[in-house]
Each structure stands twice: as structure tokens, then as C-alpha cells.
Structure 1
Amino acid sequence: MHYIFDFSWIWDYGPVILKGLFVTVELTLVGAVAGVSLGILCAWIRTLGPEMLRPPVAAYVELIRNTPFMIQLFFIFFGLPSVGVQLSELQAANLAMIINLGAYSCEIIRAGIEATPKGQFEAGAALALRPLQTFRLVILVPALQRIWPALSSQIVIVMLGSAVVSQIAAEDVTFAANFIQSRTFRAFEAYMLSTAIYLLFAIALRQLLNQLGRWIFPKVAAR
């Protein structure tokens, strides 16, 4: 028996696919910007910040890095309403991705900070800069330059992990594929299409991040 491929439904479900792609792009953009910002803050606390804040930040990082992303997502979407915090599907997905990327990027950025020569810290002190000013003006950019390839890879990984947000009915690419196969019964074609979309998006995102790295950090080597 030969399987006959049928993609004739694509035009009928084009709006569903485009909406799913738009949601995935939005989740990635918001998650990347806010997640990396959170990671920078946590990395500063863990390396140069107040001693009293280091244990809770370390606990947050360990908790997130050692639990499944889906459990984190379910806790936010299904668990928080029990204590009065109501979030839409998209809000919950965004928050989960920010929290998840924040923990992973914290450790990546912390590695870059700890690899910074002590002379740069001393240079900041010699210029009478405050510790936070030294971090922002002297330490942060070289640290990010060192770990940019690893950070870029983590952003792509989090984007691919966003596929599970369809479990809370966030209308991303995977949600679109599930919806299409439930209406057309063409599961093979629907998931083949979603696979192609994620593959192309991951390649494009990696290239975009590489170009961004070359623009922000001219000496960053292409990966």
C-alpha cells in the first residue's frame, strides 16, 4: 500500500498556520529579550551583587534548570490561579519562557563574568566607578562577547521548547498542526509542515543572532 501525500489543505488553513508562526515568533522575541535581561540581573547578583540576594537567586536557577519546562508551564498556567493569579494562555507561555531562559542564561553569563580578567575590575575601581557602574560599563560587554555563541544556542533551544505551549492552548505552530490534523486527518503532512517551519525558523534565528553578535561585538567569531 502506497501512501499518497496530500497538501491541498494548506491554502484553506493558511491563516491558522500564519497565526501559529506569529505566536511562536512573538514568544521567542519576548522570551529572548526579557529572559536574557533577567539572566544578566541574576548573573550580576550571583557574582558581584549583594550577598543576601545570592541564595534565593541560586535556588531559582537550580530549581528551573532541574525541572521540566512543561511542569513549569503547567505550574504557572494551572497552579497560579489557585492563589488568585489569572493569566491568559499567551501570558503564561511568555512568563514560563522568560523564567526558563532567565535561569539558563544566568549561568551562561555568569561564566563569562567569571572569565573576566581581574585587571578590568581594578580598572573600574581606578576610575572611581561604583561596582554597578563597573559591571555595566566595563565588565558586561566583554563577558557577553565571550559567551554569545552559547547564549544564542540557548535562545534557539528555548524557541524549540516553546512547542509545548500548545498543551495550554497557546496558538503556536504546534497548536496549528494539531488543529489541522484534527480537521483533515492528514497527521503526517501536518506535522511534516510544522517540522519544516521549526527547522527553517531555527536556522533563520541562529543566523540572525550571529549577525546581531557581529554588529554588537565586531570581534565575535561566526559559528
Structure 2
Amino acid sequence: MNYTFQFGVLAQYQDQLLKGLWLTVQISAFAIVVGTAFGILLASLRSMGGRPVRFLVDAYVELIRNTPFLVQLFIIYFGLPGMGFRVGAVTAALIGMTINLAAYSTEIIRAGIEAVHKSQIEAGEALGFTQIQIYRHVVILPAIQKVYPALSSQFVLMMLASSITSAISTGELTAAASFVQSQSYRSFEVYIAVTIIYLALALLLRGLLALIGLWLFGRRTAKAAVRPVVEASA
């Protein structure tokens, strides 16, 4: 094997790679925030709504989870213009990633809501909580806390899946890598570097999500741990 690695060649394309990296971060952050918000809304509607609402939410979740993400992107980017709705590549990527993540997060959060025991809801009613207070403090927050590790993993998977949007020319990291490879003819070096970047992004995102989880649920968990001690001393 006489192959000679030349990673130094990539230095002259760092602007393209950094631009692609920044776009990956932007579209991933948008999809995570908005997709999760829609997931909470849909899971809540499914939990509180009637049979028609549950049917519609379940149909949406099954449709998205059982079709390829790439096909969903193609429908948005290539299909919508045929109906008179023309969208740019980045907009199509944002819509596709949000719709995809919303379906997965809906199913994850639904599992968390169903894990909340009815006795906790009855306890909230006995304390005089309103339905909104019960849902906020007794149902949805504990539900998200239960499934937060699964949600975090889904967020990382969605960030990595953003590479698929290069198929519609979004200009994110994978598309930037393809451009650099076509200019430098150093495929091995380019994709090794991009693999390392994606790995670093995934690890950073996991760390950030862990800190967010500690901020959101840390004090709640601490109170739950202290309460039995306080009650016992009383």
C-alpha cells in the first residue's frame, strides 16, 4: 500500500467546511427545538383528545416513522413545487427534519405520559390542582423526565441525519465535504475529517443535552430524594 495521506490539503478548504458545519448546527438546532415542541403538543393532544384526534396523531406518527427520511425530503423539495409551493433547499431541510423529529418525539413522549401512574393524577386532584396544573406538573414534566435519555438519543440521531439533506443541495457539512472532495481529489482525507467532525458534534450535543437535563430535572430529582427524609423526620 503506497497511499500517502495529505490532510494538509484540506486547510485551503476550511472556509467551506466551517460554513457547512455552521449550517448543520443551525438546521439541527431548529429541528430539535421546533420538532420537540410539536412532539409535546401532539403527544398532549393524543393523551387528552378524543378518538378522532388519537387516530390522526397515530396516523401521522406511523406514516413518518415507516417511510424513509430521504423520500420525505424529496416530496417536500421536488413534490411541493408541482403543487405551486416552491421552497428552497434549506427551508425544505428544516421542514423535513422538523416533521420527522416531531413524529419520533411524539411517540417517545407518549410513552412517558402513559408511564405516569393514575394515582399521581388523583393526588393532584385531591390537592385542588387545576387540570392545566396537573398536566404541567404531574403529567408532562415527569413524563419528559422519564424519557429524556431516549429523547436525547433521538436528537443526536436527527443531527447526524442532517447529512441526508445534502441530497437536495442544502450546503451543510456533508455537501461541503463532497465539494471539497471534488476539488481536492482526496476522498479518504476529506471523509475521515468529516467523520471526526460529526463524532465531535455528537459528543458535544450529548454533553449539552446532559447539562440541560441537569438544569431541568436536577432540582426536581433532588427534591424527590430529600422529601422522604423530611417526612421521616417530621
Please give the range of the TM-score, normalised by the shorter of the 2 chains: over 0.9
Provide the residue aligned with 2:23 in structure 1.
Answer: 23
Provide the residue aligned with 2:85 in structure 1.
Answer: 85
Structure 1 unaligned blocks of 5 or more: none
Provide the residue aligned with 1:155 in structure 2.
Answer: 155
Provide the residue aligned with 1:129 in structure 2.
Answer: 130
Distance 1:123 1:80 in 2: 49
Provide the residue aligned with 2:118 in structure 1.
Answer: 118
Distance 2:102 2:165 in 1: 17
**1:63 is the counterpart of 2:63:** yes
Provide the residue aligned with 2:96 in structure 1.
Answer: 96
Provide the residue aligned with 1:176 in structure 2.
Answer: 176
SS of 2:209's partner is helix
Count the aligned residue pairs: 219
Provide the residue aligned with 2:38 in structure 1.
Answer: 38
Distance 1:188 1:11 in 2: 15
Instruction: State the Cα distance separating 1:139 from its structure 2 match.
Output: 1.1
Moved over 4 A (4+): none
Instruction: State the Cα distance separating 1:124 from its structure 2 match.
Output: 3.7
Instruction: State the Cα distance separating 1:133 from its structure 2 match.
Output: 4.2
Letter aligned with residue 214 of structure 1: L
Change (3 A) 1:128 1:199: closer
Instruction: State the Cα distance separating 1:46 from its structure 2 match.
Output: 1.6
Instruction: State the Cα distance separating 1:38 from its structure 2 match.
Output: 0.8
Instruction: State the Cα distance separating 1:85 from its structure 2 match.
Output: 1.3
Aligned-residue RMSD, C-alpha: 1.4
Distance 1:82 1:122 in 2: 52
Task: Answer yes or no: is the 8 Å Cα contact 2:32–2:101 preserved in 1.
Answer: yes
Letter aligned with residue 55 of structure 1: F
Higher Cα radius of gyration: 2
Distance 1:143 1:172 in 2: 34
Instruction: State the Cα distance separating 1:94 from its structure 2 match.
Output: 0.7
Task: Answer yes or no: is the 8 Å Cα contact 2:34–2:98 preserved in 1.
Answer: yes
Provide the residue aligned with 1:196 in structure 2.
Answer: 196
Instruction: State the Cα distance separating 1:208 from its structure 2 match.
Output: 0.8
Provide the residue aligned with 2:216 in structure 1.
Answer: 216
Greater per-residue helix proportion: 2
Distance 2:87 2:169 in 1: 13
SS of 1:13's partner is helix
Distance 1:16 1:82 in 2: 32
Instruction: State the Cα distance separating 1:207 from its structure 2 match.
Output: 1.1
Percentage of identical aligned residues: 48
Distance 1:215 1:136 in 2: 17
Task: Answer yes or no: is the 8 Å Cα contact 2:35–2:99 preserved in 1.
Answer: yes
Distance 2:185 2:17 in 1: 16
Give the structure-1-normalised TM-score. 0.94
Task: Answer yes or no: is the 8 Å Cα contact 2:90–2:170 preserved in 1.
Answer: yes
Structure 2 unaligned blocks of 5 or more: 223-234
Provide the residue aligned with 2:229 in structure 1.
Answer: none
Task: Answer yes or no: is the 8 Å Cα contact 2:10–2:190 preserved in 1.
Answer: no
Change (3 A) 1:49 1:124: farther
Distance 2:177 2:29 in 1: 21
Give the structure-2-normalised TM-score. 0.89
